[in-house]
Amino acid sequence: MAIQMSAALARLHDELRYEPVTHRIKATLGDRVVAETTGAVLVWEPRRLVPTYAVPREDLRPQLIEVDAAPDDPATAPPVLAPGKFGPHLTPGRPLDLEIDGATLERAGYAFDDPELSGHVLLDWDAFTWTEEATVMTGHAQDPFKRIKTLASDRHVRVSMDGRVLADSQRCVLLLETHLPPRWYLPPEDVRLDLLEPSDKHSVCAYKGRASYWSLIGNDAGRHLAWSYPDPLQDAHPVRDLLCFWGERTELVIDGTPVPRPPSPFAGMP
């Protein structure tokens, strides 16, 4: 029987996975180089949505200090581990402190017991600045099995909420991102900006860049309904300054047909 690719990949969610990379990876702390290597490995720990770099021990500059700690308990860990926290680690191994030039970064490394990864040390992404070749990376390590694709579209897209139209356009850009719902980006001229106000909230996507958010004016719940990328990364240039609405929170109609609200991990976010 045929297997849908997304389902096949989802079955690996609880496994320890890795993929070697060949381009140069550099991790720095201020002006200090912590690691520089062409032998890094992308590692997806169990339950992790995104990978993190593990680097060969011989390419690490700091002294590694093993931490005497009890293993993390999978029973108390969330079913999905989103970016932002280095732990917990749900596969056998040892947490490491990194000591460099008199400074100690507590538990910024993790050494796996798995023989395929025993020569590498996983590093806390948020503890360092990361450069791939000469490009400074943002958000988290990029997954080589995910991508974004943008398509100019002349389909009729209408967005509303509680019967009030927020946007209506036939000159959108459709952004397709692996494992996420299709997103429709609309030009500001086709959006009721008089009903929206910019928020001080921002987020960072490793593939699209830094997002700015918008809320309904006078919305007591304070929930964000839309976002935009004023200065997107290269692959997202076609959506620069366009607005996209949460399909999880609004009513989306395309060519006269209502689109069901998609399930996604972002539905409950503020």
Judge whether 269 lies within some domain.
no
Say whether both 33 and 81 belong to one domain: yes
Judge whether 265 lies within some domain.
no
Q: Looking at 136, 161, 177, which one is the last position of a domain?
A: 136
Q: What is the pLDDT of residues 191-232, one digit of tens each?
A: 999 999 998 889 999 999 999 999 988 755 567 899 999 999
pLDDT tier at 264 (50, 70, 90 boundaries)? low
The domain tally of the chain equals 2
Judge whether 59 lies within some domain.
yes
Q: What is the pLDDT of residues 235-254, one digit of tens each?
A: 999 999 999 999 999 999 99
Distance separating alpha carbons of residues 221 and 76, to the nearest angstrom:
31
Judge whether 242 lies within some domain.
yes
Say whether both 108 and 154 belong to one domain: no
> What's the confidence (pLDDT) of residue 113?
96
Say whether both 91 and 161 belong to one domain: no
Say whether both 84 and 179 belong to one domain: no
- Displacement of CA 194 from its chain's centroid (Å): 31
Say whether both 194 and 242 belong to one domain: yes
Q: What is the mean pLDDT of residues 127-153?
A: 95
The CA–CA distances, whole Å, from 181 to 53, 109, 190, 234 equal: 27, 34, 22, 21
Say whether both 101 and 161 belong to one domain: no
Q: What is the pLDDT of residues 74-116, one digit of tens each?
A: 999 999 998 889 999 999 999 999 999 888 999 999 999 999 9
> What's the confidence (pLDDT) of residue 269?
53
Judge whether 158 lies within some domain.
yes
pTM, whole model, 2 decimals? 0.87
Distance separating alpha carbons of residues 240 and 246, to the nearest angstrom:
17
ω into 260 cis (within 30 of 0)? no
How many other CB atoms are there within 10 angstroms of residue 39's CB atom? 16
Which domain range does residue 176 map to?
148-259
Judge whether 67 lies within some domain.
yes
Q: Looking at 136, 158, 182, which one is the last position of a domain?
A: 136
Distance separating alpha carbons of residues 161 and 215, to the nearest angstrom:
12
Say whether both 11 and 123 belong to one domain: yes
Distance separating alpha carbons of residues 213 and 201, to the nearest angstrom:
6
> Over 90: is that where the pLDDT of 166 sits?
yes
Say whether both 228 and 193 belong to one domain: yes
Q: What is the mean pLDDT of residues 127-142?
A: 95
- Tokens matching residue 223: 């929930």
- Tokens matching residue 242: 């366009």
Q: Looking at 77, 111, 136, which one is the last position of a domain?
A: 136
Residue among 20, 19, 24, 18 at smallest CA distance from 136: 24
pLDDT tier at 58 (50, 70, 90 boundaries)? very high
Task: Check which CATH number belongs to the domain holding 218 and give it.
Answer: 2.170.150.40
Q: What is the pLDDT of residues 9-38, one digit of tens each?
A: 889 999 999 999 999 999 999 999 999 999
Say whether both 184 and 123 belong to one domain: no
Question: Tokens 């500059």 appear where?
Answer: 61
Phi-psi region of 255 (alpha: psi -120 to 50; beta: other; left: phi over 0): left
Say whether both 105 and 35 belong to one domain: yes
Judge whether 266 lies within some domain.
no
Say whether both 195 and 235 belong to one domain: yes
Say whether both 179 and 90 belong to one domain: no
> What does the mean pLDDT of the chain come to?
93
Judge whether 164 lies within some domain.
yes
